Chain A
Amino acid sequence: MKAHVYNRDHINTDEIIPARYLNMDKEADLAKHAMEDIDTEFVEKVEAGDVIVAGENFGCGSSREHAVWALRGAGVKAVIAESFARIFYRNCINNGFLAIECQGISGSISNGAKLEIDLISGEIKDLDADKSYKFPPLPEFAQEMLEAGGLMKMISK
Chain B
Amino acid sequence: MGQTITEKILAKHAGRKSVKPGELVNATLDLVMCHDVTTTPAIDMMKEHGITKVFDPEKIVIMPDHFVPNKDIKSAEMVRKIRLWADEMGIETFYELGNHGVCHALLPEQGHVKPGMTIVGADSHTCTHGALGAFSTGIGSTDLAASLSTGELWFKVPPTILFNVFGSLQEGVYAKDIILEIIRRIGVDGARYKAMEFRGPVIDELSIEARMTITNMAIEAGGKSGIIAADDKTIEYLKTRGIEGEIDLVKSDEDAVYEQVIDIDVSDLEPIIAFPHLPDNGKKISEITEKIKIDQAYIGSCTNGRIEDLRVAAEIMKGKTVPKGTRCIVIPATTEIWKQANKEGLLDIFMEAGATVSSPTCGACLGGHMGIIAAGEKCISTTNRNFVGRMGSPESEVYLASPASVAAAAVSGYICDPRKS
Q: Are A and B genuine complex partners?
A: yes
**A38-84, CB < 8 A from B:** 38, 56-57, 60-65, 68, 83
What B residues does A64 contact at CB under 8 A?
37-38, 140
Interface-side segment among B5-13, B144-152, B244-252: B144-152
What A residues does B24 contact at CB under 8 A?
141
Binary flags per residue of A82-111, CB closer than 8 Å to B gives 1, else 0: 010111001100110000000000000000
Interface residues on A, range: 35 or more
Distance to closest chain B CB from A63 (angstroms)? 4
Contact of A25 with B41 in the complex, beta carbons under 8 Å = yes
What B residues does A151 contact at CB under 8 A?
142-143, 145-146
Contact of A63 with B146 in the complex, beta carbons under 8 Å = no
Determine whether A121 belongs to the interface, using a CB cutoff of 8 Å to chain B.
no
Known: A12-B387, A22-B37, A151-B146. A63 touches B139 (CB 8 A): yes
Determine whether B189 belongs to the interface, using a CB cutoff of 8 Å to chain A.
yes
Distance to closest chain B CB from A140 (angstroms)? 9
Q: How many A-B residue pairs have CB under 8 A?
A: 127
Q: How far is the CA of A90 from the CA of B141 in the complex (A)?
A: 11
Interface residues on B, range: 35 or more
Determine whether B368 belongs to the interface, using a CB cutoff of 8 Å to chain A.
yes
**B137-184, CB < 8 A from A:** 138-143, 145-146, 149-150, 154
Interface-side segment among A13-21, A112-120, A127-135: A13-21
**B40-89, CB < 8 A from A:** 40-41, 44-46, 48-51, 66-67, 71-72, 74-75, 78
Determine whether B192 belongs to the interface, using a CB cutoff of 8 Å to chain A.
yes
What B residues does A57 contact at CB under 8 A?
188-189, 192, 222
Interface-side segment among B203-211, B307-315, B388-396: B388-396
- The 5 lowest CB-CB distance pairs between A and B, nearest first, are A65-B140, A23-B74, A94-B142, A91-B140, A156-B49
